[in-house]
Structure 1
């Protein structure tokens, strides 16, 4: 029932996304789309990077149209990046689903050396398979995906670790990495391995101007594939709170808040010297602020006596949560800025960096229905 009420916020956000009429798909993205399509038939391997939190919504449109379950593209390898921000059990289900549909899949965190090494080994194996075992051949890999799924972070890590493994010298190239979508504008090549020589082409993110369903738009807005400047952050944050309120994960925060155990929240965010870090109330990423935010969310949900399945009552709860979060974030009511926007921006940042837990927002499809 709670999920049904949360869907009302999804529909409202979906309408806002549709109202943009694909405004994110400008001339630069259209040109990148054409360039990628022209290169797809020419490369040996296609690495499709998706967001592990939304594996279905973050699928790359041009590849969806080029393959089917009955005739999969054997050159394609799917990378579920940001696996450290997703529910690990759901990620395992998605990987099993990919394998069942004859699509090889690797789940990783682009900042993990072990994950990148696993990806490099999978690419090497695929190149050798395609080149019939030749050791001195050259393979090309096209790295594709929607904006803000971490393609440039992956190619930087592959380039660095691959060169170290091959004991190559020379200046490292670095792709531009940003938390904002649309930073990569051109296609660039990076050598990531020797014997066989493997070159990866990093491409700009391309997001279709039209989605196949109504669920994808809100999920992509929430995970940051669509720029926040195009949609009201307050609307996205309301959608996020509706999701958090309809799930059970908040119950774990009671014990976390009592013990002060931050390990599960910071698994994906290795930090330097927590102990010597000065505390600033204006910095919403500091542990004591994050703890206060989780406490505020736990208190408001656990003390709520209404019906979460009722859209109006859920809306009332979310309004109360924004008031509680304003205090948790130390946002002064005297500020001239839009308080709701300020709270929403901070809340979305904590979610997108994994400080509010690990969530997978796309359900795993039924393989049998997919085949039909």
Structure 2
């Protein structure tokens, strides 16, 4: 189902991506693009840094035809991507590993460092690489849940359920021996969604909603129903109690995206790697 990422993206983000493109492609990117085009004929070797979560979409289109023997692709954020889907070619390097590039002076060797540049039009996978406000956190979170629901990542959380229950039981025993003031201080941190016990509850909620879903994820309307149910269910582990639905969704979306970007929800590659 991972190959459906592009279809899912166009369904949930199509209109938002079109609106975001004008704000996304800033003047400094346009200037950098012109500089790259102007200097490519003078370059002997290229080190291109891409986002491992979108290893194809984050490629610079101006380097598509640059000789592969003089073109090294370096993948950043490998710890957040699905490693099995980032094997592009022999000249791909993990930026998390040590990378040394020697520079000589006989003859003189110059390095041209460019700012991050992506195409003027935002591609499907690139939605996860731009500022949330350009597309909308709610739309991005719906897109994320669609990807999670269509992947196999959530199945790994089944093994964590029994362990999580044991941990929670231990927490309750320890907490029962504490003073009331300590218990109150602990509750103050319920709004911190990055705590381990909250992340466990979020994973458990996602696992349970997908596992109990009887519909067909290939049918768009049924996938929509699952995602809406997940937004409702995730209000509990995220401790979101707002009555106004729009605000509640916004808070859930923000926290969910944060967990994704810090790797707490698993590893995903949004590009389809055939």
Aligned to 1:247: 151
Return the offset for 1:237: 0.8
* Preserved contact between residue 137 and residue 253 of structure 2 (Cα < 8 Å): yes
Question: Which residue of 2 is the match for residue 234 of structure 1?
Answer: 138
CA distance in 2, matches of 1:317, 1:302: 11
- Aligned in 2, Cα 1:5/1:322: closer, same or farther, shift over 3 Å? same
Q: 1:17 to 1:6 in 2, by over 3 A?
A: closer
Aligned to 1:48: 48
Structure 1 residues 9, 311: CA separation in 2 closer, same or farther (over 3 Å shift)?
farther
Q: Is the aligned partner of 1:16 residue 2:16? A: yes
2:151 and 2:46 mapped to 1: Cα distance?
36
More helix by share: 2
**1:272 paired residue number:** none
Which of these residues, 201, 204, 211, is aligned with residue 302 of structure 1? 211
Structure 1 spans left out of the alignment, 5+ residues: 110-114, 128-133, 143-200, 262-277, 366-372
For 1:105, the equivalent position in structure 2 comes to 92
Once the 2 structures are TM-superposed, how far is the Cα of residue 334 of structure 1 from its aligned partner? 4.7
Asked whether the equivalents of residues 10 and 239 of structure 1 are also in contact (C-alpha less than 8 Å), the reply is no
Instruction: Please state how far the C-alpha of 1:4 moved relative to its aligned partner.
Output: 5.4
Query: Which structure exhibits the higher relative contact order, with contacts defined as CA atoms closer than 8 Å and separated by 6 or more residues?
Result: 2
The residue number in structure 2 matching 1:83 is: 78
Q: CA deviation at 1:256?
A: 1.7
**Does the residue aligned with 2:254 lie in a helix, a strand or coil?**
helix
Deviation, 1:313, is: 1.2
CA shift for structure 1 position 15: 3.2
Determine which structure has the larger strand proportion and give its number. Answer: 1
| Length-normalised TM-score, structure 1 | 0.61
> Hey, what does 2:109 align to over in structure 1?
139
5 Å matches for 1:1-372? 7-8=7-8, 10-64=10-64, 66-67=65-66, 72-91=67-86, 93-94=87-88, 98-99=89-90, 104-109=91-96, 115=97, 117=98, 119-120=99-100, 123-124=101-102, 138-142=108-112, 201=113, 203-210=114-121, 216-217=123-124, 219-221=125-127, 223=128, 225-260=129-164, 280-334=189-243, 338-365=247-274
Q: Which runs of 5+ in 2 are unaligned?
A: 166-185
Question: Is contact 1:5-1:314 (8 Å) kept?
Answer: no
Matches of 1:5 and 1:81, distance apart in 2: 21
Counterparts in 2 of 1:81 and 1:9: CA distance versus 1, 3 Å: closer
Q: CA deviation at 1:43?
A: 4.4
Alpha carbon RMSD of aligned pairs, Å? 2.8
TM-score by structure 2 length?
Answer: 0.81
Q: For 1:328 and 1:289, how far apart are their aligned partners in 2?
A: 6
1:154-205 per-position Cα deviation (integer Å, ceiling 9, x unaligned): xxxxxxxxxxxxxxxxxxxxxxxxxxxxxxxxxxxxxxxxxxxxxxx3x322
1:43–1:141: 8 Å Cα contact kept in structure 2?
A: no
**What is the CA–CA distance in structure 1 between the aligned matches of 2:213 and 2:141, rounded to whole Å?**
19
Secondary structure at 1:323 match in 2: helix
What is the distance in 2 between the residues matched to 1:76 and 1:2? Answer: 28
